Amino acid sequence: MNPVLEVRGVSKRFGGLAALSEVSFEVARGELLALVGPNGAGKSTLFNTIAGVAPPTAGRILLEGTDVTGKSSHALARLGVARTFQLVTLFRELTVLENVVQGLHRHTRLAVLDGLLGLPRYREDTRRLAERAEGVLALLGIAAHRHERADALPLGIAKLLTVAIALATEPRLLLLDEPAAGLSHDEATRMMDLVAGEVRKRCTVVLVEHNMRIVGNYCDRAVVLQFGRKIYDGAAAGLVHDPAVVDAYLGVAEMDG
Ligand SMILES: Nc1ncnc2c1ncn2[C@@H]1O[C@H](COP(=O)(O)OP(=O)(O)OP(=O)(O)O)[C@@H](O)[C@H]1O
Ligand SMILES: [Mg+2]
């Protein structure tokens, strides 16, 4: 069976800066892979190349064996690549439920005009999408917040909501950029229990995480980047014993976190 994701010799330049240099790795179906590396290592850039936001300067991206290099973010979303961003991106004035439904509307490309005209087809689809959205909120344990405005949510719930919005599209590959960052210990545990439980049952997950304890506890495998190059690809539990990784993180407090 083809890997869900193959990154083959991917490089990304921003002017004179090599943000990624010949990065290659694969992600098998059902795997939970951590993407690790110091600030500026190229993790978010790698997500952007996979999700079609910023196509690679060189190299190929394959999704279940199909070359998707250079496809738009919208095309990739339709092919089953969903992602969350490092900073929470929500419609602040919409409720939790409306945010998920809105994301589904975007995903299914329902015509805005249909909505404005109040056509029956739009109303029917909205009801169906609302049911799907309710299901995902229940799955992530945030259904009780469904009618709260997004800008009133604690960060832990807001971040779960961004995962819900992505998961509602029923992706085959989910990219989570620092889902636990900024959360309290309890909120981070709740997030990671869900990601490693209900979320990974439904799709293959790649997540960016700085905290080695979280990576070791929850992830199968880790790929570590430093200055845009891959310096480690192996068992998540082996990270803290790898000299190159320890070097890359020397002096970074989260190594012990
Ligand atoms: N659009 C851009 N234009 C120019 N340089 C960029 C752009 N995006 C990222 N970079 C640079 O590419 C490098 C990698 O950035 P990236 O955001 O991918 O790092 P990161 O590993 O996600 O870091 P962090 O842990 O801080 O989120 C950095 O030097 C950054 O300044
Ligand atoms: Mg980043």
For the stretch 134-157, pLDDT in tens is 999 999 999 999 999 999 999 999
Give CA 241 to chain center in angstroms: 27
Average pLDDT over residues 188-208: 97
Which has the closest alpha carbon to 204: 79, 25, 30, 50?
Answer: 30
Mutation probe of ligand 1 site: the residue of 10, 14, 20, 85 with most atoms within 8 A of C-beta: 14
Measured CA to CA, the distance from residue 243 to residue 232 in angstroms comes to 10
CB-CB contact of 174 with 205 (8 Å) = yes
For the stretch 64-111, pLDDT in tens is 999 999 999 989 998 999 999 989 989 999 999 999 999 998 887 644
Measured CA to CA, the distance from residue 203 to residue 254 in angstroms comes to 28
Residue 125's pLDDT band (boundaries 50, 70, 90)? Answer: confident
Instruction: Provide the edge-to-edge strand list for the sheet that holds 81-84.
Output: 81-84, 173-177, 204-208, 32-36, 221-226, 229-235
Query: pLDDT at position 127, please?
Result: 82
Residue 51's pLDDT band (boundaries 50, 70, 90)? Answer: very high
CATH homologous superfamily for the domain 1-46+54-80+172-183+203-257 = P-loop containing nucleotide triphosphate hydrolases (3.40.50.300)
Q: Which CATH class is domain 86-170?
A: alpha beta
**What residues does CATH 3.40.50.300 cover in the chain?**
1-46+54-80+172-183+203-257, 86-170
The CA distances from residue 115 to 93, 107, 126, 131, in Å, are: 19, 15, 9, 18
CB of residue 217 inside a 6 A radius of ligand 1? no
CB of residue 41 inside a 6 A radius of ligand 1? yes
* Strand 58-63 with 5-14, pairing: antiparallel
pLDDT above 50 for 18: yes
Residues with CB under 5 A from ligand 2 (ion): 43-44, 86
pTM for the predicted model, two decimal places: 0.92
Cβ contacts of residue 114 below 8 Å, gap of 6+? 121, 122
Place of tokens 């981070």: 188
Mutation probe of ligand 1 site: the residue of 21, 45, 249 with most atoms within 8 A of C-beta: 45
For the stretch 33-42, pLDDT in tens is 999 999 999 9
Residue 212's pLDDT band (boundaries 50, 70, 90)? Answer: confident
